[in-house]
Amino acid sequence: MGYVRAIEASLAPGDHTTVEARGWDLLVVNVDGDYLVVENSCTHAKAELSKGRLDGSEITCAEHGARFDLRSGACVGPPATQSVPKFDARVKDGFVEVKIDKIKVARRPQFGPMN
């Protein structure tokens, strides 16, 4: 599938925005001129990472303080343990394009309250 056009490449360094693409809720951040893109969902309790605090390329979730490195998606602070899905991005023709290989499909049907 490859790259999909996400936003205009007009964010100032240190700014961020959110966008939906191919079923994914994405957080797009300009870190020192690089556009970094991760899923906008903390892997601990699903809070929106866009509400968190940015420090360089590291974001701290506003809900319980989990920390992620936006350059790799890696979890670098508890209580989360899993890395957040990270997407390659490039600037082309004035737009940020994000590489999304898999559409995020709606959850499979529920069998009961717990799964």
Partner 1 sequence: MTVYRTIERFADPQASKTPVQKEPEPDLGTDIIPKERYTGEAFRQLEWDHLWTKVWQMGCWEGDLRNTGDYVVTEIGNESIVLTRDEDGGVNAFYNVCSHRGNQVAYGRGGNTRTFKCSYHLWEYNLKGEIANVPDVETFPQGVPCEKLAIRRLPCATWGGWVWFSLDPDIEPLSEYLGIIPEHLDPYHFPEMTLVNDVTVEWDVNWKASVDAFNETYHVNSTHPQLMSWLEDMDVQIDCYERHNRYLIPFGCVSTHIEDGTEISDGMKGFMMMNHLDPSSFEGNGLDVRRAIQKNWRANAESLGYDLSDLNDDQLTDDYHYLIFPNITLNIHATSLMLFRQRPHPSDPNKMFYDLQNYTMVPKGEATPPRPLHRQFKHGDESLGEVLDQDSRNLPMVQRGMNSVGYRGLWISDQEVRIRHFHKTIDDYLFRQSIKIT
Contact positions toward partner 1, by CB under 8 A? 44-46, 64, 79, 81-82, 110-115
Q: Output the smallest distance, CB 106 to partner 1, in A.
A: 13
Task: Give 2 or 115: the residue with its C-beta nearer to partner 1.
Answer: 115
Task: Give 55 or 115: the residue with its C-beta nearer to partner 1.
Answer: 115
| C-alpha distances in Å from residue 100, one per residue of 49, 88, 90, 96, 103 | 19, 8, 12, 13, 7
Task: Give 94 or 112: the residue with its C-beta nearer to partner 1.
Answer: 112
Q: Output the smallest distance, CB 81 to partner 1, in A.
A: 7
Q: Output the smallest distance, CB 112 to partner 1, in A.
A: 4
Please give the sequence-ordered ranges of beta strands (E in DSSP) within 1-115, or none if there are none. 3-8, 16-21, 24-31, 34-39, 53-55, 58-60, 67-69, 75-77, 86-87, 89-92, 95-99
